[in-house]
């Protein structure tokens, strides 16, 4: 079910180009609107569909198994921290779902650039960046350093 | 320089009737190009098909009064304030370019038709508007071209890579830039004024004559698409999109306590 773009809605902002994990959402050189350059490589992750601020991207079901007007549409609302899905079945049944996309207010998470840069001794540390404080624990168990056999 | 009518000075070498005919031909080219573009791309058919579909699938009927209100809001928000842009920089650049271009074109038409010779002196505001319009177009346009353009900002391509989609913005920038330079050179009595004027005419002809192949007609399509989007919101069809989440305190980040860890 590859994605496609409603050209009249797209304003060519490039959010989908930035977020596509397959690097298959690009800008058309003729119309400067986004398009899926390789539909067969799209794994329907819906990243671009959710990221599009104009709701201009949709996923198309293959004609051999999803005909008759079904649709899966999604609306992401940053300020509310919600993502809503509307599933329309082939028999006309509609179902709406709302889910949280985060538990903290939008814009409250620090970007990596806002953290202090790690020092050179971090290379010998077993913890990942911002551990353990980012995990909200005091301490993480660590393995004893290996001792080099000599003699 | 900023208060002298460049077309009045030009009338010494080009008769006013020639300038007026040229402006009229450009207007006709825009009209004909837009109509051809609409027929060729079937834009109007697509628009009305979507309109009928939205009316059929809507959950409520939008009355004439509400429709007029939606149209007015579309004109003010999307038309006059470029409200459809989610990126503030793009919005500002678009506003600069749009209002600059409008001032540039309107001042040109008024000066060419109403004050074409030194015998009919134009009010100082008109040449000022012409220069200011060209300048704003250049500021917004070059900002967009070098820094905001999605090919550069998202695709990571070179700022100097030119593609088909650049026909509109490049011819617009060439027209405004050459117009500014020509106005300056002519007021300074420089002999390069005529060649630069030739470039200005060439760029302007490409700008208005390439409507079927460029993005020029977006100024007619985009407001129509924005209006349709507002009507779809109002009648409940929403292009099949789900309704806005109504209980963020339960489902969204306004929740008091996270429960899914």
pLDDT digits (tens, 9 = 90+) for A32-58: 999 999 999 999 899 999 999 999 999
**Is ipTM strictly over 0.90?**
no
Q: At residue B203, does pLDDT exceed 90?
A: yes
Measured CA to CA, the distance from residue B218 to residue B126 in angstroms comes to: 27
Q: What is the mean pLDDT of residues B210-220?
A: 89
HEC string of B91-113 equals HHHHHHHHHHHHHHHHHHHHHHH
Contacts of B247 (CB under 8 A, 6+ apart): A98
Dihedral of alpha carbons B142, B145, B146, B148, sign: positive
**B244 lies within 8 A of chain A by CB:** yes
CB contact under 8 A, B215 and A31: yes
Using CA atoms in the order B1, B6, B8, B12, what is the torsion angle rounded to 10 degrees?
A: 110
Q: Is the pLDDT of residue B61 over 70?
A: yes
Of A141-150, B50-59, B126-135, the one with minimum mean pLDDT is A141-150
Q: What confidence tier does A67 reach under pLDDT thresholds 50, 70, 90?
A: low
In the prediction, which pLDDT does B261 show?
44
Band the pLDDT of B141: cuts 50, 70, 90: very high
Query: Which pLDDT belongs to residue A105?
Result: 72
Q: How far apart are CA B112 and CA B20, in angstroms?
A: 6
Q: What is the mean pLDDT of chain A?
A: 85
Residue B35 to residues B28, B42, B211, B221, B256: CA-CA distances in angstroms? 11, 10, 10, 12, 56
For residue A58, cis peptide bond before it (omega within 30 degrees of 0)? no
Total-model pTM: 0.84
Phi, psi angles (nearest 5°) of residue A90? -65, -30
Minimum CA–CA partner of A106 in chain B: B253
Q: Which of A7, A9, A21, A43 is catalytic?
A: A43
Q: What is the mean pLDDT of residues B213-217?
A: 89
Q: Which value, in Å, is the radius of gyration of the alpha carbons in chain A? A: 22
Whole-number pLDDT of residue A99: 85
Query: For residue A125, is pLDDT > 70?
Result: yes
More confident of the two residues B138 and A82: B138
Across A133-142, B28-37, B103-112, B229-238, least confident range: A133-142
Q: Are B124 and B161 in contact (CB under 8 A)?
A: no
| Residue A150 vs residues A19, A124, A143, A147: alpha-carbon distances, Å | 50, 21, 21, 9
Q: Is the pLDDT of residue B255 over 70?
A: no
* Average pLDDT of span B180-206: 95
Closest Cβ–Cβ partner in A27, A74, A102 for B253: A102
Nearest of B45, B143, B43 to residue B100 by alpha carbon: B143
Average pLDDT over residues B171-175: 97
A85 part of the active site: no
Mutate to test the interface with A, among B155, B245, B254 (most CBs of A within 10 A): B245
List CB contacts (< 8 A) between A27 and chain B: 150-151, 154-155
Instruction: Using DSSP, state whether A111 is helix, strand or coil.
Output: coil
As given in the structure block, the two tokens for residue A141 are: 């168990």
Assigned token pair, B33: 């190009």
Distances (CA, A) of A68 to A87, A125, B241: 14, 57, 18
Of B244, B212, B231, B216, the residue nearest B50 (C-alpha): B231
Question: Does pLDDT of B69 surpass 80?
Answer: yes
DSSP for residue B241 = P
Among the listed residues A133, A135, A129, the one whose alpha carbon sits nearest the alpha carbon of residue A112: A129
Mean pLDDT, range B146-150, rounded to an integer: 94
How far is the alpha carbon of B215 from chain A, nearest alpha carbon, in Å?
7
Pairing assessment for the beta strands A71-77 and A25-27 based on DSSP bridges: unpaired
pLDDT band at A151 (very low <50, low <70, confident <90, very high): low
Is the predicted pLDDT of residue B96 greater than 90, yes or no? yes
Spell out a b/e string for A97-111, using b for 16 or more CB atoms within 10 Å of the CB, else e: ebebbbeeeeeeeee
Does residue A132 register a pLDDT over 70? yes
Dig out the tokens for B41 from the structure: 């791309």
Average pLDDT over residues B169-173: 97
Residue B258 has pLDDT above 60, yes or no: no
For residues B75-99, give the mean pLDDT: 94
Q: Is residue B258 within 8 angstroms of chain A, CB to CB? A: yes
């Amino acid at each position: 079910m590859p994605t496609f773009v409603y050209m009249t809605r797209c304003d060519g902002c490039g959010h989908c180009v930035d977020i596509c994990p397959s690097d298959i959402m690009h800008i058309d050189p003729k119309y400067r609107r986004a398009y899926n350059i390789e539909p067969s490589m799209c794994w329907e992750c819906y990243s671009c569909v959710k990221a599009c601020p104009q709701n201009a991207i949709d996923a198309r079901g293959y004609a051999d198994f999803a005909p008759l007007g079904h649709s899966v549409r999604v609306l992401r609302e940053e300020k509310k921290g919600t993502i809503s899905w509307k599933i329309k079945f082939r028999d006309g049944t509609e179902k709406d779902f709302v889910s949280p996309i985060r538990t903290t207010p939008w814009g409250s998470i620090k970007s990596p650039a806002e953290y202090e840069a790690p020092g050179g001794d971090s290379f010998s540390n077993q913890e990942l960046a911002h551990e353990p404080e980012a995990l909200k624990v005091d301490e993480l168990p660590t393995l004893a350093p290996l001792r080099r056999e000599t003699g | 320089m900023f208060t002298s009518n460049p077309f009045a000075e030009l009338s010494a070498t080009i008769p006013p009737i020639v300038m007026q005919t040229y402006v009229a031909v450009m207007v006709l080219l825009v009209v004909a190009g837009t109509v051809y573009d609409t027929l060729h791309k079937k834009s109007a058919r697509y628009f009305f098909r979507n309109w009928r579909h939205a009316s059929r699938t809507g959950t409520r009927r939008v009355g004439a009064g509400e429709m007029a209100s939606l149209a007015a809001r579309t004109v003010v928000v999307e038309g006059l304030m470029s409200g459809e842009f989610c990126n503030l920089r793009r919005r500002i650049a678009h506003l600069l370019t749009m209002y600059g271009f409008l001032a540039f074109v309107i001042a040109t038409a008024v000066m060419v038709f109403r004050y074409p010779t030194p015998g009919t002196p134009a009010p100082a505001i008109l040449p000022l508007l012409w220069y200011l319009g060209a300048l704003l177009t250049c500021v917004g346009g070059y900002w967009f071209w070098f820094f905001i353009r999605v090919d550069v900002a998202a695709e990571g391509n070179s700022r100097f890579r030119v593609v088909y989609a650049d026909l509109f913005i490049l011819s617009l920038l060439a027209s405004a830039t050459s117009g500014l330079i020509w106005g300056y050179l002519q007021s300074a009595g420089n002999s390069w004024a005529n060649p630069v004027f030739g470039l200005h005419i060439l760029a302007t002809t490409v700008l208005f004559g390439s409507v079927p192949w460029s993005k020029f007609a977006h100024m007619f399509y985009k407001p129509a698409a924005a209006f349709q989007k507002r009507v779809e919101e109002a009648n409940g069809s929403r292009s099949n999109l789900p309704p806005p989440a109504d209980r963020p305190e339960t489902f969204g980040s306004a929740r008091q306590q996270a429960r899914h860890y």
